[in-house]
């Protein structure tokens, strides 16, 4: 089995080897086990990932040694300072290039060191570059059916949450006939309605909306705990995604902020989460059946 790739580069003089080893260590390379014999010595510099790239046709106009980084500008400044301590300013500019954008969605600079060793340092501009492939849900609600549960209690808040949810669903392609709105007296009744709707198997997801405001008694904590537990239990036992859009706030002002005034609309966010979860469930089902998602 392949374990790693090593590129061997000859350095002109022992003092240059020491300098370059010191530089690469400062840049973040891990120093490996070196060696020495009558003919010379070597210094091993280890990187977390190594790649071997083979090409046909024209060789890309990049240095033969490319080093991927996560802090390109910081490394450029470090190398500029290191070169400035050893060479006149006009020579530094010929050895160290400016950071430029490439045609492969990245930024790159090159440096020609004292031994004639030319390196390219680059950083991808793709935020998902190097990340493991993940199965994620889409935000298209076309062909999906939803039940939206809201409360008559605190309607000054819940009507705003409902408006946000419906806006998200319809913007995402859900047909109006595929969205059922159910009104219950208060937050306490949400879990019962959610369970009934989920067990009917007529809906792909349930969106729960409500608002609990803290009072001067323990009533708030008792209601909230049971509502959260009931919604979660309904989701786990029925397998139907339940999006949680029940606000728990200290004051009416906080609730208004979370219902579209200042801090986004939690009804919109709950609907978005419901769409994504339905999409993920469908993809997971296809994957389990051996069908391309």
Residues involved in catalysis: 219
- Residue 13 neighbours by CB under 8 Å, 6+ apart: 115
Q: Are 267 and 243 contacting, i.e. CB atoms less than 8 angstroms apart?
A: no
Helices and strands: H and E segment counts in the chain = 8, 12
Nearest to 162 by CA among 271, 242, 7, 89: 271
Give the integer Cα–Cα distance in Å for 17 and 10. Answer: 9
Cβ-based burial of 205 (10 A; exposed 0-12, middle 13-18, buried ≥19): buried
DSSP 48-90: S--------SSPPSS-SEEEE-S-HHHHHHHHHHHHHTTS-HH
Q: Quick one: CA torsion of 247, 265, 279, 208, rounded to 10 degrees?
A: 30
Q: Which of 178, 240, 252 is nearest to 213 (CA)?
A: 252
């Amino acid at each position: 089995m392949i374990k790693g790739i090593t590129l061997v580069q000859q350095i002109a003089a022992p003092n240059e080897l020491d300098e370059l080893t010191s530089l690469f260590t400062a840049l973040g390379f891990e120093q490996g086990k070196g060696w020495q014999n009558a003919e010379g010595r070597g210094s091993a510099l280890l990187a977390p990932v190594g790649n071997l790239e083979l090409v046909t046709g024209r060789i890309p106009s990049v240095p033969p040694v490319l080093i991927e980084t996560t802090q390109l500008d910081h490394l450029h400044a470090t190398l500029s300072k290191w070169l400035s301590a050893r060479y006149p300013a006009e020579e530094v500019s010929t050895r160290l290039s400016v950071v430029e954008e490439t045609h492969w969605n990245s930024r790159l600079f090159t440096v020609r060191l004292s031994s004639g060793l030319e390196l390219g340092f680059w950083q991808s501009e793709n935020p998902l570059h190097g990340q493991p492939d993940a199965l994620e849900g889409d935000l298209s609600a076309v062909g999906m059916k939803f039940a939206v549960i809201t409360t008559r209690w605190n309607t000054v808040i819940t009507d705003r949450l409902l408006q946000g949810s419906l806006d998200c669903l319809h913007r995402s392609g859900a047909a109006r006939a595929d969205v059922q709105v159910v009104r219950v007296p208060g937050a306490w009744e949400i879990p019962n309605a959610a369970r009934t709707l989920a067990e009917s198997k007529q809906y792909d997801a349930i969106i729960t909306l409500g608002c609990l405001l803290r009072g001067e008694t323990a009533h708030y904590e008792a209601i909230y705990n049971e509502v959260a537990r009931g919604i979660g239990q309904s989701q786990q036992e029925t397998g139907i995604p339940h999006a949680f859009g029940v606000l728990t706030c200290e004051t009416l002002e906080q609730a208004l902020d979370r219902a579209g005034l200042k801090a986004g609309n939690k009804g919109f966010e709950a609907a978005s989460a419901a769409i994504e979860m339905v999409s993920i469930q469908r993809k997971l089902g296809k994957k389990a059946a051996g069908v391309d998602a």
